[in-house]
């Protein structure tokens, strides 16, 4: 048994993990909240991304769109982290060797890196292009963000059926 | 046989219904598009609702927010109707007996009615109050109701799979 697998196994045996598995209503309820959180997170980031791509709300400065929609994106992100950890804890051992789970986590990391790079580079100079057509790097960050977040949703959907179809693996 | 049930039975046996039903990848793929549509429809509707409630985006007039976000609401709605009909056709007889499915359809009808009542009543006079940071009570009520209904619909949608 690898240390990572042992840790994942331990997660499923914690009070939270065991409660999530033991209650027939809890998992679907947390899943429903995870979908609601995806609306808050992905809709808010997509509105800013469309503005960065120059496709939407062009008469509003980028910094203003960012300051009005990013708090909702963070709220959605907080909801996704909490509900995502709860869902993960109940089936961590099934997620352990699941390729789609790894793809989803990698896509989330890429979306985070994309946002971080944007903030540390071209957004630093936002005052110089705030009201005009965004520079290429800002447009690129916007398109990449939309593609990545919708891909995260798609991976989440496929994760659900791949875990449902996989038997509970035995500890190795 | 009940007329509605025979309609469901017929739909499920059309080439559309049966090919989705018999394919392993078509249903999850359409469901993924249905989830994308949720983000567009409910995301855009919530922005307008929050403005109507006076919770957010108060710097913009109501008609400006409506003008920018209603096209997205309609685009998302069309995606949901098309993908929803495809999903329904593959398991229509199962949905016929599902209480959660009935609740979801009732909630959608209520959300539509709420939007309609808002449009023919409060929104008619939008020119007189659209610059107010806080909209009239009926508009705030419509916004609150809309958010609760749409998120209720999302919740019901998730529960259909478990019913």
Tens of pLDDT, residues A5-18: 999 999 999 999 99
Please give the ipTM for the structure prediction. Answer: 0.93
- pTM here? 0.94
Chain A residue with minimum CA distance to B38: A39
Residues in chain A where the model's pLDDT stays below 50: 170-172
Chain B nearest CA to A153, separation (Å): 8
> Smallest Cα–Cα separation from B54: which of B146, B139, B119?
B139
Chain A 23-52, residues with CB within 8 Å of chain B CB atoms: 28, 31-32, 35-36, 38-40, 42-44, 46-47
Does the beta-carbon distance from A38 to B159 stay under 8 Å? no
Coil vs helix vs strand at A60: coil
Each domain of chain B, given as residue ranges in start order, spans 3-160
Is the CB of residue B38 less than 8 Å away from at least one CB of chain A?
A: yes
Looking at residue A168, the DSSP 8-state letter turns out to be: P
Looking at residue A14, the DSSP 8-state letter turns out to be: S
Chain A nearest CA to B93, separation (Å): 22
Dist. CA B41–CA B38, nearest whole Å: 5
Looking at residue A98, the DSSP 8-state letter turns out to be: -
Chain A nearest CA to B39, separation (Å): 5
Is the CB of residue B32 less than 8 Å away from at least one CB of chain A?
A: yes
SS (H, E, C) chain B: CCHHHHHHHHHHCCHHHHHHHHCCCHHHHHHHHHHHHHHHHHHHHHHHHHHHHCCCCCCCCHHHHHHHHHHHHHHHHHHHHHHHHHHHHHCHHHHHCCHHHHHHHHHHHHHHHHHHHHHHCHHHHHHHHCCCCCCCHHHHHHHHHHHHHHHHHHHHHHHHCCC
The answer to whether B45 touches B71, Cβ cutoff 8 Å, is: no
The pLDDT tens digits of the residues spanning B9-49 come to 999 999 999 999 999 999 999 999 999 999 999 999 999 99
pLDDT band at B132, cuts 50/70/90?
confident
What b/e sequence results for B95-119 when a residue is b if at least 16 CB atoms lie within 10 Å of its CB, and e otherwise?
bbeeebbebbeebbebbeebbeebe
Dist. CA A82–CA A78, nearest whole Å: 6
Dist. CA A26–CA A22, nearest whole Å: 8
């Amino acid at each position: 048994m690898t240390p990572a697998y042992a840790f994942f196994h331990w997660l499923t045996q914690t009070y939270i993990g065991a409660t999530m598995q033991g209650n027939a209503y809890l998992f679907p309820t947390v899943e429903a909240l995870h979908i609601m959180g995806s609306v808050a997170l992905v809709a808010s980031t997509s509105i800013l991304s469309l503005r960065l791509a120059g496709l939407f709300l062009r008469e509003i400065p980028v910094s203003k769109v960012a300051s009005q929609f990013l708090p909702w994106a963070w709220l959605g992100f907080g909801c996704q982290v909490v509900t995502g950890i709860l869902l993960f804890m109940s089936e961590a051992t099934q997620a352990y060797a699941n390729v789609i789970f790894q793809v989803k986590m990698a896509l989330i990391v890429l979306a985070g890196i994309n946002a971080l790079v944007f903030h540390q580079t071209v957004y630093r100079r936002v005052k110089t292009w705030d009201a005009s057509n965004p520079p290429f790097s800002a447009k690129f960050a916007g398109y990449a963000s939309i593609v990545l977040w919708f891909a995260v949703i798609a991976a989440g959907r496929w994760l659900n059926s791949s875990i449902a179809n996989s038997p509970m693996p035995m500890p190795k | 046989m009940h007329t509605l049930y025979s309609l469901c039975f017929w739909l499920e046996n059309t080439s559309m219904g049966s090919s989705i039903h018999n394919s392993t990848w078509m249903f999850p793929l359409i469901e993924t598009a249905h989830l994308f549509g949720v983000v567009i429809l409910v995301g855009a509707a919530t922005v307008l609702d929050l403005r109507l409630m006076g919770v957010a985006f108060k710097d913009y007039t109501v008609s400006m927010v409506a003008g920018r976000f209603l096209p997205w609401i309609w685009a998302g709605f069309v995606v949901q109707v098309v993908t929803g009909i495809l999903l329904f056709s593959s398991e229509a007889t199962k949905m016929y007996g599902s209480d959660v499915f009935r609740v979801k359809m009732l909630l959608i009808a209520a959300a539509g009615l709420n939007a309609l009542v808002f449009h023919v009543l409060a929104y008619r006079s939008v020119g007189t109050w659209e610059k107010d940071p806080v909209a009239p009570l009926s508009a705030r009520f419509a916004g609150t109701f809309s958010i609760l209904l749409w998120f209720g619909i999302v919740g019901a949608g998730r529960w259909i799979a478990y019913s």
